[in-house]
Amino acid sequence: MAKKIVCLGSCVVDLTCRSDHLPLPGETVITDYFKMGPGGKGSNQAVAAKRAGGNIILMTKVGNDILSQVALGSFKKEGFDEKYILIDKDAFTGIALINVDKNTSENSITVAPGACGYLTGDDIGLLKPEIESCDIFLTQLETNLDAIEKAVGIAYENKKTIVVNTAPVQAISDELLGKITMVTPNEIEASLLTKVEVRDKSSAGRAAGIFFDKGVKYVVITLGKKGCYINDGKTEALVDPIEVKTIDTTGAGDAFTGGLVVALAEDRSLLNAAKFATAAAALSTTKAGTAPSMPYRAEIDALVKKTYGSL
């Protein structure tokens, strides 16, 4: 039986436009491209992990509105256990307003978490047996922090591997950091959390040192076009990005984290897990959207073989 991953995370519906450039403050930009689809960092990472071959359970929450049907339809299609897809009758389903520059593939995103920002203690209690029996617990910072802290506490008490994607970035306590096994920020998030401007391997190493001082065991920092930085406290390395024809980078970070936890669940080394995750992230940029762009295992394996030979 494959090692079990449990993800507590957000679910939002992405409302995406692609235009010739990102709007400047006060500017209105006309486009003929609009797409609505499932998204949210928790949902995206869970879909990425499931498509990559992971044995994963997702807990999230949506509203009782028309947008929830987009999310629920997606979860059913992906094969998630509906027991942990909760419905809040009083809150709206979260949304993400996404603008993508069709020339550079850069994006700007505004998120309203909605229902997934109202996870309760009872919700975490429902998930507790799954956390207690999992191997890897994955979460992000796009749901309410008190729920995250409670779930991480359960995972920590049961000596689970705890992976936290620190996005969207917000202040988190040293107590919470001290319970986390691995953080996976991008360079901006790492800079804000450590007060070290992360630009390259050297600065990433200094940021990693601060995470280690807080009790984190492993640090993985994604660096966009520069690839990713990994450090297990003893050795560090940069993993180069994989060149592909990029269309949309919006879901790349989520594809990376989803791929990473699957590779870790397969007992790959941190370096090889990062390479697997890099392939997943690269492939996600070749398609539009977030959750719909997540690659399947056969695609990842083919790119890994082409790029690295074997892992």
How far apart CA 270 and CA 163 sit, in angstroms, is 13
Helix, strand, coil % in the chain, rounded to nearest 5: 40, 25, 35
How far apart CA 228 and CA 117 sit, in angstroms, is 29
How far apart CA 30 and CA 14 sit, in angstroms, is 19
> What residues does 249 pair with on adjacent strands?
none
Q: Which active-site residues does the annotation give?
A: 254
Extract the tokens encoding 134: 């999992």
How far apart CA 67 and CA 84 sit, in angstroms, is 18
From the centroid of its chain, how far is CA 189? 13
Extract the tokens encoding 270: 């941190």
How many alpha carbons lie under 13 Å from residue 137 in its C-beta half-sphere?
28
